Amino acid sequence: MSHILLVDDDIELTELLEEFLVGEGFQVTVANDGGRGLELARNAAFDALVLDVMLPVHNGFEVLRKLREDANNPGHTLPVVMLTAKGDTVDRIVGLEMGADDYLPKPCNPRELAARLRAILRRGRAEKETSDDVLVSGPLRLLPREHQCQWDGQPVNLTGAEFSVLKVLVESAGQVVSKEVITEQALGRKLMPYDRSIDVHVSNIRKKLSEHGASRELIINIRGAGYMLTRSQE
């Protein structure tokens, strides 16, 4: 049974979501402020975190930042779904840039939340069970079983969503992959109108790889078509 940490200060909403998720076969732990949520995420074993932006003590962005910046805590790589204000594109982009795996606007549909969580958990299991021990494209190496990325032998710290996006591109190196295909294969859902999730994940991947010596042109954007991992990386 997958264990979900739900962090939101809306008591009525958390009760509704908890009841629905438990009915869908999840185990759910609830925290109603960012301080308690951060403490739980750091010190307990959860399979995913559902995190609201507007929280007392620490807001959702602070919780996410503290989780992602401390590589020594168990919650460092925890998959995160952010709950953002409906129509607030800025919050969504900021959350993704800080390392969230996906987002949902509030008020969210419990069924859609369950679907997003299943997609994240399914993606993680698929990567661990893959028969490909190593994916290589020039100095870039991906180890799906260990969920590790390396550039020229140096480890590159990627979130779960970033790793999945890069894996799709490596598997099709030298070919253009549409955002629709990347979204379905990496995030496990359909591309939504005005959805910039893939753009932000790719931007994060470029930044992290460039910090280890990769060219910013390693992944190029083909306007109107999608993204391509170039083969000229030596």
| Cα(79)–Cα(111) distance, integer angstroms | 18
Q: Could you give the domains of the chain? A: 3-125 (3.40.50.2300), 130-229 (1.10.10.10)
Task: Check residues 194 and 30 and name the one with the higher pLDDT.
Answer: 30
pLDDT reported for residue 205: 97
pLDDT reported for residue 76: 84
For residue 75, the Cα-to-chain-centroid distance in whole angstroms is 13
pLDDT digits (tens, 9 = 90+) for 112-141: 999 999 999 987 776 665 555 789 999 999
Say if residue 232's pLDDT is above 70.
no
pLDDT digits (tens, 9 = 90+) for 54-67: 999 999 999 999 99
Say if residue 83's pLDDT is above 90.
yes
199 Cβ contact partners less than 8 Å away, ≥ 6 residues apart: 179
pLDDT reported for residue 130: 56
Tokens encoding 146: 């260990």
pLDDT digits (tens, 9 = 90+) for 149-187: 999 999 999 999 999 999 999 999 999 999 999 999 999
Average pLDDT, the chain: 91
| Cα(31)–Cα(165) distance, integer angstroms | 30
Say if residue 86's pLDDT is above 80.
no
- Distances in whole angstroms, Cα of residue 51 to Cα of each of 7, 103, 140, 152: 5, 9, 32, 35
Task: Check residues 101 and 86 and name the one with the higher pLDDT.
Answer: 101
